[in-house]
Amino acid sequence: MNDRVILAHGGGGELTKRLIAEHIMPRLGNEVLNPLTDGALLDAPTNRLCFTTDAYVVQPLEFPGGNIGHLAVAGTVNDLAVMGATPKWLSLALVLEEGLEFAVLDRILDAIAATARDAGVVIATGDTKVIEARGPAGMTLTTAGVGVLRPGTNLDACRIKPGDFIIVNGAIAEHGLAVMSAREGLAFQTQLQSDVAPLNGLIAAMLDTGADIKFFRDATRGGLAGLVADLAEETGLTVELRENDIPLTPAARHIAELLGLDPLTVANEGKCVAVVAARDAEKILAACRNHPLGRAAAVIGQITPGRPLAELITRAGGRRIIQRPYGEELPRIC
């Protein structure tokens, strides 16, 4: 059983040291993390910072297009990026279940290292605990992130007004559908992959245009539906989406139908929504399409005067209210 995690790996003794020395540091080591002190020392270029955290509980741990490690880095990086911050440092807390294979752990640590490299962030500090297995051996990861606010950024939902355009950087619903396909044994039927990706580079490219961007948010749990319902509530305005213009691949539409899910409510992990002044929409679209993660970017709707609700103009030309999902059809999706 030398190829699996045991409870004693979490005890803070000799075995914990070996777990860290043999599995974690070879993959995640860097100048900031290497001292392995109680906290990491950061030298921020400014004192205007952004701070965020997310716990990741996805099941299965590995799914088409990624694993929980990609998610734990990209999700937290994206939360900083949509706030107008340049992500700089992440913390990483591992809660491993006894019996987890080291081969799986190492693949996930490799994904964390690779995604951090892609996003240009440093894993600065961490913690490891081991708990008893209570089902298929799994893990939960929690990352917190610290970023530096970009000077001159003026993201403020209060500035949104009727006529502003709503832009998404590509096809929706792929993360949630890929995870569900894996869970339901449908993965072999489809090429569908999670869209998990760090969006900080794309968002920086959009901000670098100097366009008047008023709002960013990543469409994770609750999907695009949850995002626009929140947006309507926060602005007190109507958010109008056009179903015809929302990018959705035929594969995703097919799987959503098979699973009985509304793609609007399905989680994404590499999609963000921007609200921009109408005159700047073309500029933003051009910046997106120049970036690998924004090739399929589209204007999908606009802000209109009226009651604070989100509406969908359907393919058939009808109108329906977009509601925030009540609970969640898809537990442990991220």
Of residues 91 through 130, those in contact with its own copies by CB under 8 A are 91-95, 124-130
Residue 93's nearest CA partner among 120, 115, 112 is 112
| 3-state class (DSSP) for residue 121 | coil
Shortest spacing between CB 134 and its own copies, in angstroms? 3
Shortest spacing between CB 51 and its own copies, in angstroms? 5
Only one of the segments 13-21, 241-249, 253-261, 289-297 lies at the binding site for its own copies (rule: CB under 8 A); that segment is 13-21
Q: Is 22 in the site for its own copies (CB under 8 A)?
A: no
Residues 156-215 that bind its own copies (CB under 8 A): none
Beta strands in 64-175 (DSSP E): 66-67, 85-97, 122-131, 139-149, 165-168
R_g over Cα of the chain: 21
Residue 293's nearest CA partner among 276, 317, 268 is 268
**Looking at 4, 16, 102, 106, which residue binds its own copies (CB under 8 A)?**
16
Shortest spacing between CB 46 and its own copies, in angstroms? 6
Q: Which is nearer to its own copies, 129 or 242 (CB)?
A: 129
How does 167-176 read in b/e, with b if 16+ C-beta sit within 10 Å? bbbbbbbbbb
Q: Is 316 in the site for its own copies (CB under 8 A)?
A: no
Shortest spacing between CB 44 and its own copies, in angstroms? 4
Residue 169's nearest CA partner among 312, 301, 295 is 295
**Looking at 67, 86, 115, 142, which residue binds its own copies (CB under 8 A)?**
142
Antiparallel, parallel or unpaired: β 85-97 and 213-218: unpaired
Shortest spacing between CB 328 and its own copies, in angstroms? 2
Q: Is 55 in the site for its own copies (CB under 8 A)?
A: yes
Residue 217's nearest CA partner among 279, 162, 168, 147 is 168
**Alpha carbon of 183 to those of 74, 187, 195: distances in Å?**
22, 8, 17
**Looking at 64, 68, 89, 241, which residue binds its own copies (CB under 8 A)?**
89
Only one of the segments 100-108, 111-119, 137-145, 300-308 lies at the binding site for its own copies (rule: CB under 8 A); that segment is 137-145
Q: Is 132 in the site for its own copies (CB under 8 A)?
A: yes
String marking each residue 226-265 x if it binds its own copies according to CB under 8 A: x---------------------------------------
The strand pairing partners of 322, in sequence order, are 310
Q: Is 25 in the site for its own copies (CB under 8 A)?
A: no
Q: Which two tokens stand for residue 235?
A: 């602005």
∠ CA 84-89-90, nearest 5°, is 105
Q: Is 220 in the site for its own copies (CB under 8 A)?
A: yes
